[in-house]
Amino acid sequence: QVQLVESGGGLVQTGGSLRLSCAASGRTFSYYGMAWFRQAPGKEREFVAAISRSGGTTYYADSVKGRFTISRENAKNTVYLQVNSLKPEDTAVYYCAAGSTSTRWSAYDSWGQGTQVTVSS
C-alpha cells in the first residue's frame, strides 16, 4: 500500500552504532504506525521496535530496549532506527513495515526490502 525503502545498514564492530532509515512514498505516511523487524539466517522474523502514527508511543523488544531508538519525521515521510551498542547477535536483515502499530508482523500491510546489519565480534 505504501512503498518503503530501507537504508543505512552496514558492517560495524561490536559496540558500534548505525542509523537506519526507512523512506516511504505516498502522501498518507502519517496514517500508518511503523515498525522495524529483523531476520537472521536460520531464524524467524522478530519484532524490534514500533512507533505510533504521531510518534508519541514507542515499543521495543526486550533484547534491544535501551540500545535502539525508533523515531519518525512525518514531514519527511521517514522513520529511523538508531542502533547503538551493537552486538553480534544483532546481525540480521532489518525490515521496515507500515500498518497498525503493533508488535505482531500480521498487523503490517507494507514491507521494505530490508537493509543488512552485520556486527563483527
DSSP string covering 34-56: EEEEEE-TTS--EEEEEE-TTS-
Assess contact for 7 and 66: CB atoms under 8 A: no
- From first to last of the 121 residues of the chain, give the pLDDT tens digit: 789 999 999 999 999 999 999 999 977 888 899 999 999 999 999 999 999 999 999 999 999 999 999 999 989 999 999 999 999 999 999 999 999 999 999 999 999 999 999 999 8
Q: Please give the radius of gyration of the chain, using alpha carbons only, rounded to the nearest integer.
A: 13
Cα distance from N-terminal residue to C-terminal residue, the chain: 38
